């Protein structure tokens, strides 16, 4: 078989990559696209087997994705699905490498995060396209010798011929162009010193001897820092989860273990005002969702945030995103026990963002609350539910008047506060707070201590003492408080 060499790379004018194509990857990402979507990688990102790839200095998350690469053999423009495969010269192995640390500044282009030099190794051999069935190929990836990806093309969301035909409707696929066809589940993160290998082979018995061989790439550490005139690396736990494939693989606590029963009980025991005070001491001043009212102001809820974003209505986009099992219904139908669904409606009060049926569905699924900075339809019915809803105002209009349900489980803005999936929400009649999970344990312990001190101060004022030197306590009152605390502890032990 022909080997992929420098001449092969030199003939490539463009590299086109597909976002999600394997059902296993779609299940991992929690979304299944109805149509294929693409991004470009520069031809300068191409590399051969045995090359090294640099994890840029200051970066943490160099992600790898084993993929099958199609090499175009003859120009394709507006070809049919039936004719598309004849325009493919061969297939080879590829590794779609990318740095998650730079995704935040890419705005969906993936140029900086996935376009670096050496970020698209291909090879080593090219299997002739006419020698294989594109629906009977196997893709495998090894990380330091351990098999981490193993899947076939039997049940792709978008078969290879469809990708070629689809792309050719708008642009000419030229000889030498490369299409990366998506990665299965199992993609993860590599570190300097790691060796990555990808192999593509035929999965049917008659052509099982056809293989690309293993495409090998070694990761090295970059030494040149980013200049200060461009976007630098930045990561958070959401990017770590995306890069590794799961919270567990990233070494993060499982989502349902962040808010343990013990932590939840502590948060339920302290006043919202105390939590706000302690967050201000930590420099967190913009963590309250403001301007909303509650259907159940007597209720206090503590839960993890799930998020839903609405964008302003545009009639053509509402036709594609507003109907059917849209983002709003997906969010309602996937909220879990104890979670709080937080909606970004831009403070738009001229229509409803949730009504009685969907609110009831959220309650049946065990949601702790719904929070929206928009309107509520069917107000009397929603207010009659046991599950509380925080909202801007009642409004009879349907969703499509002002909103399109657009996306779920992303960072949103609600009532002037930024909310991320997995943030801890505390809501009651005094207000709604957004607590970063990483500080919750320490925060609530300090709140408990603060409320003990305030209970002592309250008792001292009740006994007729001046607040001068008592609130806040000076050294003399601190000593008296320590003695009072010992006495109270002794009473509890009796």
Domains of the chain: 6-250 (3.90.850.10), 285-435 (3.50.30.40), 442-493 (no CATH)
Whether pLDDT at 490 is above 60: yes
Q: Write down the pLDDT at residue 32.
A: 84
CB of 55 closer than 8 Å to CB of 221: yes
Residue 70 — pLDDT band, cuts 50, 70, 90? very high
Task: Indicate the pTM of the whole model.
Answer: 0.58
CA atoms of 100 and 137, how far apart (whole Å): 29
Q: Write down the pLDDT at residue 205.
A: 58
Q: Check the CA dihedral 474-476-480-482 and report its sign.
A: positive
Closest CA to 346 of 312, 383, 305, 299: 312
Closest CA to 306 of 335, 278, 346, 283: 335
Give the annotated binding-site residues for substrate: 355-358, 377
Q: Write down the pLDDT at residue 107.
A: 72
Report the range of poorest mean pLDDT among 110-124, 142-156, 158-172, 255-269: 255-269
Q: Write down the pLDDT at residue 207.
A: 59
CB of 242 closer than 8 Å to CB of 110: no
CB of 407 closer than 8 Å to CB of 309: yes
Give the annotated binding-site residues for Mg(2+): 378
Give the annotated binding-site residues: 355-358, 377-378
Q: Write down the pLDDT at residue 255.
A: 59
**Mean pLDDT, the chain, as a whole number?**
92
Q: Write down the pLDDT at residue 424.
A: 96
User: In this predicted model, which residue has the larger pLDDT, 281 or 163?
Assistant: 163
Q: H/E element holding 263?
A: helix 261-269
Whether pLDDT at 489 is above 80: no
Report the range of poorest mean pLDDT among 148-152, 229-233, 322-326, 393-397: 322-326
CB of 447 closer than 8 Å to CB of 282: no
Q: Write down the pLDDT at residue 356.
A: 94
Torsion angle of alpha carbons 438, 440, 443, 448, nearest 10°?
A: -160
Whether pLDDT at 427 is above 90: yes
Please give the distance of CA 320 from its chain centroid, rounded to a whole number.
23
CA atoms of 317 and 487, how far apart (whole Å): 66
Whether pLDDT at 43 is above 60: yes
333-379: pLDDT as tens digits: 889 889 999 999 999 999 999 999 999 999 999 999 999 999 999 99
CA atoms of 300 and 297, how far apart (whole Å): 8
457-486: pLDDT as tens digits: 998 999 999 999 888 889 898 888 888 888
Whether pLDDT at 256 is above 80: no
Q: Write down the pLDDT at residue 172.
A: 97
Residue 28 — pLDDT band, cuts 50, 70, 90? confident
Whether pLDDT at 487 is above 90: no
Whether pLDDT at 494 is above 60: no
């Amino acid at each position: 078989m022909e080997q992929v060499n420098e001449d092969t790379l030199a003939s490539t004018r463009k590299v086109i990559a597909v976002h999600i194509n394997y059902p296993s990857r779609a299940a991992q990402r929690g979304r299944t696209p109805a149509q294929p979507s693409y991004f470009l990688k520069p031809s300068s990102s191409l590399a051969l087997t045995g090359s090294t790839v640099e994890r840029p200095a200051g970066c943490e998350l160099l992600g790898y994705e084993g993929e099958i690469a199609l090499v175009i053999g003859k120009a394709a423009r507006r070809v049919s699905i039936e004719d598309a495969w004849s325009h493919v010269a061969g297939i080879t192995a590829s590794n779609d490498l990318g740095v998650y640390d730079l995704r935040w500044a890419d705005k969906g282009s993936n140029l900086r995060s996935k376009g670096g030099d050496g970020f698209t190794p291909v090879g080593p051999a090219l299997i002739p396209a006419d020698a294989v069935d594109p629906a009977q190929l196997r893709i495998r990836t090894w990380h330091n010798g351990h098999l981490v990806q193993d899947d076939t093309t039997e049940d792709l969301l978008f078969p290879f011929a469809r990708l070629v035909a689809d792309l050719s409707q708008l642009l000419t696929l030229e000889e030498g162009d490369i299409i990366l066809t998506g990665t299965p589940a199992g993609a993860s993160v590599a570190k300097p010193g790691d060796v990555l290998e990808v192999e593509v082979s035929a999965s049917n018995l008659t052509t099982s001897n056809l293989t690309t061989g293993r495409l090998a790439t070694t990761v090295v550490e970059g030494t040149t820092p980013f200049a200060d005139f461009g976007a630098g690396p930045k990561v958070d736990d959401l990017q770590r989860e995306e890069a590794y494939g799961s919270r567990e693989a990233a070494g993060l606590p499982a989502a349902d273990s962040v808010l343990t029963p013990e932590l939840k009980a502590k948060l339920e025991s302290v006043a919202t005002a105390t939590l706000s005070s302690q967050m201000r001491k930590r420099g967190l001043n913009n963590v309250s969702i403001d301007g909303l009212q509650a259907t159940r102001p007597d209720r206090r809820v503590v839960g993890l945030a799930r998020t839903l974003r609405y964008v302003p209505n545009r009639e053509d986009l509402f036709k594609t995103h507003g109907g059917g099992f849209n983002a709003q219904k997906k969010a309602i139908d996937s909220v879990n026990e104890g979670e709080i669904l937080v909606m970004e409606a831009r403070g738009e009060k001229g229509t409803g963002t949730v009504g009685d049926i969907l609110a009831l569905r959220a309650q049946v699924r065990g949601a702790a609350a719904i929070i929206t900075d928009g309107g509520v339809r069917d107000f009397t019915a929603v207010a009659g539910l046991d599950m509380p809803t925080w909202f801007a105002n009642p409004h009879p209009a349907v969703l499509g008047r002002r909103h399109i349900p657009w996306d779920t489980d992303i960072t949103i803005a609600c009532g002037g506060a930024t909310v991320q999936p997995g943030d801890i929400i505390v809501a009651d009649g005094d207000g709604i707070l957004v607590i970063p999970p990483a500080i919750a344990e320490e925060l609530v312990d300090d709140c408990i201590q603060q409320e003990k001190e305030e209970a002592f101060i309250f008792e001292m004022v009740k006994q007729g003492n001046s607040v001068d030197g008592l609130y806040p306590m000076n050294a003399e009152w601190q000593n008296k408080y320590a003695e009072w605390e010992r006495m109270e502890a002794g009473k509890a032990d009796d």
